[in-house]
Amino acid sequence: MDDDGRRMTRRTIPLTVAAVLFAALAFAGCSSDLRGPNHLIVVQNKFAPDTCEQVMSKLKTTQARIAELENLSRKAKQDAGGHIISATVYGPDLATAYADQRQLHRARATKNCGDPAPVSQTGPTSPR
């Protein structure tokens, strides 16, 4: 029984659980950061064994993937609750793609592999 003497019905318990889960998901989406913990698990010098051609090809592919994910994320944010969906569905993939892009730019610079490909202007910058 409740403090007011009312009984918790079978209907109010699932509603309460649903409200708590919704609030937890909403706050989880607010704490999303594309440079979050995923940048800690990036393998340093991941692309060191690759040739210049391979580095440039992977850089082009990675930049296309970033553009695709940013577009999908932008579309998802237009709907109600889209920020949560965007952060949970596309956030980890974007973080990985940004980390790969930084590593590929480092490998390109280390190997003196010609002109850099255009960099995504909407991605987070590397922490210094």
Q: What does the pLDDT read at residue 34?
A: 47
Domain that holds residue 93: 34-128
Residue 112 and residue 49 share a domain: yes
pLDDT of residue 41: 58
Residues 72 and 125 in one domain: yes
Nearest-angstrom CA–CA distance, 3 and 112: 73
pLDDT one-digit tens code per residue, 64-110: 999 999 999 999 888 888 888 888 888 999 999 999 999 999 999 98
Same-domain status, 42 and 87: yes
- Give the integer Cα–Cα distance in Å for 120 and 66: 8
- Domain co-membership, 26 together with 78: no
Element (H, E) at 82: helix 82-85
> What does the pLDDT read at residue 32?
47
* Count of domains for the chain: 2
Q: Smallest Cα–Cα separation from 93: which of 123, 55, 48? A: 123
Q: Quote the pLDDT of residue 49.
A: 87
Does 76 lie in the same domain as 26? Answer: no
pLDDT higher than threshold 60 for residue 4 = no
Band (pLDDT 50/70/90 cuts) for residue 128 is very low
Inter-residue contact 37 to 96 (CB < 8 Å): no
Whether 116 has a pLDDT exceeding 60, the answer reads no
For residue 119, what pLDDT is reported? 54
Structural contact between residues 75 and 16, judged by C-beta atoms closer than 8 angstroms: no
User: Which DSSP string corresponds to 91-116?
Assistant: HHHHHHHHHHHHHHHHHHHHHT-SSP
